[in-house]
Amino acid sequence: MNNEVITNNNEVTENNNIELDDFDYSPLGTSLLQLEKASSEELADEFHKIEYFADIDNSSTGEKMICFTVEDMPEKYFWASSSLFDILFKNEARALEDPNTRALYFPRHEISVKHAGKVPLKKDPSRTCNTWKIDVKKIK
């Protein structure tokens, strides 16, 4: 591919200063979903610091969902539910977007989670929901 650009008046000019820093990758969605999907039970042994998270609109159900990664398992993603979903969703405005992952992170807070088990859903007791222990620390 050459570096020539045709302008509005059909002149050919050299284009050596193309910058893609402002290219909008957001229509691609988050790259977190390209990782291995993991089970929440993998986070039951100890607290794990959340590195990135992203909200996803489930196109089938219209439901808003949040996936997240933890620092010590960067090759996997997990799904947030119950109180973990709530705290991430309600604090999205305090997060910054990482352009490489197209996901969010908290620059001023450290959130660590531990899977605390499953409980039956109130609406449908035949289904279960993950519960979480959550530790939030402000970074100084």
Q: Which DSSP symbol is given to 80?
A: -
Q: pLDDT tens-digit profile of 82-101? A: 899 999 999 999 999 998 89
pLDDT class of 5 with cuts at 50, 70, 90? very low
List pLDDT tens digits, range 18-59.
Answer: 555 566 666 667 889 889 999 999 999 999 999 999 999 888
Contact residues for 6 (Cβ-Cβ < 8 A; gap 6+): 12
pLDDT of residue 52: 97
Per residue in 33-42, pLDDT tens? 889 999 999 9
Residue 84 and residue 87: Cα distance in Å, rounded?
5
* Nearest residue to 29 via CA among 55, 59, 68, 62: 55
- Rounded distance between C-alpha atoms, residue 105 and residue 131, angstroms: 21
- pLDDT: which is higher, 43 or 3: 43
pLDDT in tens, 102-140: 999 999 999 999 999 999 988 999 999 999 999 999 998
Tell me the mean pLDDT in the region 3-11: 47
